[in-house]
């Protein structure tokens, strides 16, 4: 068996004259959590739908679990599970009835069902709520039930499209705890998210922007890839300071995080230039420190570099 779970080459999808995804090259290894990260409209859902056989590709090729998405759709579907943003739970069925419905759907052998149900209910902390109607569950509990239903047939590869969107922080933590447990059992997980703090938990991350994969590596290597210094500046007037710095250094070098500024400086001379700009604008720097980039910093930097090249 190959150690590559998902492989795409030149994959693309057009809707009319608009390309939602184009020229996508991607490789996901078995037994890893791969995170596809990007804003709304970046092409994450379209990519996932092509890989799961729901949407035909307009160009390129891809294999999932060793089978081509062009002709091997049925073989792929029996080996994967896809949890979309609106997973199809049935509100008038209880928690355990939803699980049994999906077990029927996936033709899970009856001798295995009871053990699987108990295990998945325990994993997701839903055992006390097994008789509750799905429509009466909280948002986080619905997501965990959706995940349990997606795992009922023991898939090789699990596709999750922004599974924690709108879910409270505690439920998000519980959700990721379940994912790590599945990872230990050899399930390959392909997850899209707009939460960059979640992406830090992935084995590798692909940064997606306007239908293209702009960078792909481990979170640590992505963060090490920003050249120069990343400074965090605290000023009395952060928005005014941002405009002053952007006017001299360019908007791609400065971003606002809460009430603090993150400045990309190529070297110490450029950092000193930034201090001079603020001083001449009459803006005092209350605090300054060199910081380790977050994935959000990396994404902003990579997008700005792409925009510079296009310009």
DSSP characters over 277-308? HHHHTT--EEEEEE-PPPHHHHHHHHHHHHHH
Listed residue (43, 42, 57, 41) closest to 8, CA to CA: 57
Residue 196 covered by a domain: yes
Task: Compute the C-alpha angle 227/42/16, nearest 5°.
Answer: 135
Question: Which CATH number is 276's domain given?
Answer: 3.30.70
Residue pair 205/35 in contact by the 8 Å Cβ criterion: yes
Regarding whether 270 and 152 lie in a shared domain, the answer is no
Q: Extract the residue ranges of the chain whose pLDDT is less than 70.
A: 1, 308-311
The predicted structure's pLDDT at residue 309 = 64
The predicted structure's pLDDT at residue 44 = 95
Q: Please give the model's pTM, rounded to 2 decimal places.
A: 0.87
* DSSP-based three-state secondary structure for 154: coil
The predicted structure's pLDDT at residue 1 = 60
CA distance 276 to 226: 23
Instruction: Give the number of residues written for the chain.
Output: 311
The predicted structure's pLDDT at residue 121 = 92
CA distance 40 to 162: 10
Question: Which CATH number is 145's domain given?
Answer: 3.40.50.300
The predicted structure's pLDDT at residue 123 = 83
Residue range 7-60, pLDDT digits in tens = 999 999 999 999 999 999 999 999 999 999 998 899 999 999 999 999 999 999
Assigned token pair, 178? 């379940």
Which of 166, 189, 218 delimits the end of a domain?
218
Residue 300 covered by a domain: no
Distances (CA, A) of 258 to 75, 147, 150, 174, 232: 48, 33, 37, 27, 11
CA distance 252 to 20: 25
Domain holding 16, by residue range, is 4-218
The predicted structure's pLDDT at residue 228 = 83
Residue range 280-294, pLDDT digits in tens = 999 999 999 998 888
The total of structural domains in the chain comes to: 2
Which of 189, 218, 247 delimits the end of a domain?
218
């Amino acid at each position: 068996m190959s150690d590559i779970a998902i492989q795409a080459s030149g994959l693309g999808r057009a809707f009319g004259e608009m390309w939602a995804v184009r020229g996508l090259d991607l490789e996901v290894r078995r037994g890893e959590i791969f995170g596809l990260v990007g804003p709304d409209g970046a092409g994450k859902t379209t990519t996932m739908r092509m890989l799961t056989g729901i949407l035909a590709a307009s160009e390129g090729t891809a294999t999932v679990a060793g089978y081509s998405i062009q002709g091997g759709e049925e073989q792929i579907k029996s080996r994967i599970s896809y949890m979309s943003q609106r997973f199809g739970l049935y509100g008038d069925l209880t928690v355990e009835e939803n699980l049994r419905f999906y077990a029927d759907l996936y033709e899970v052998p009856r001798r295995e069902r009871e053990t699987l149900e108990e295990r998945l209910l325990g994993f997701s902390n839903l055992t006390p709520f097994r008789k509750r109607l799905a429509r009466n569950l909280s948002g986080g509990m619905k997501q965990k039930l959706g995940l349990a239903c997606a795992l009922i047939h023991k898939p090789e590869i699990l596709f999750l499209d922004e599974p924690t969107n709108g879910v409270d922080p505690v439920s998000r933590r519980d959700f990721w705890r379940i994912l790590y447990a599945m990872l230990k059992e050899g399930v390959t997980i392909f997850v899209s998210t707009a939460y960059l703090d979640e992406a830090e938990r992935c084995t590798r991350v692909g940064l997606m922007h306007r239908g293209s994969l702009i960078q792909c590596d481990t979170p640590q290597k992505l963060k090490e890839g920003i050249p120069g210094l990343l400074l965090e500046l605290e000023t009395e007037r952060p928005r005014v300071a941002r405009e002053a710095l952007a006017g001299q250094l360019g908007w791609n070098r400065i971003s606002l995080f809460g009430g603090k500024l993150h400045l990309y400086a190529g070297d110490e001379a450029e950092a000193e230039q930034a201090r001079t700009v603020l001083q001449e604008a009459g803006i005092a720097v209350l605090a300054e420190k060199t910081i380790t980039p977050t994935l959000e910093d990396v994404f902003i930097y990579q997008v700005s570099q792409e925009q510079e090249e296009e310009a």
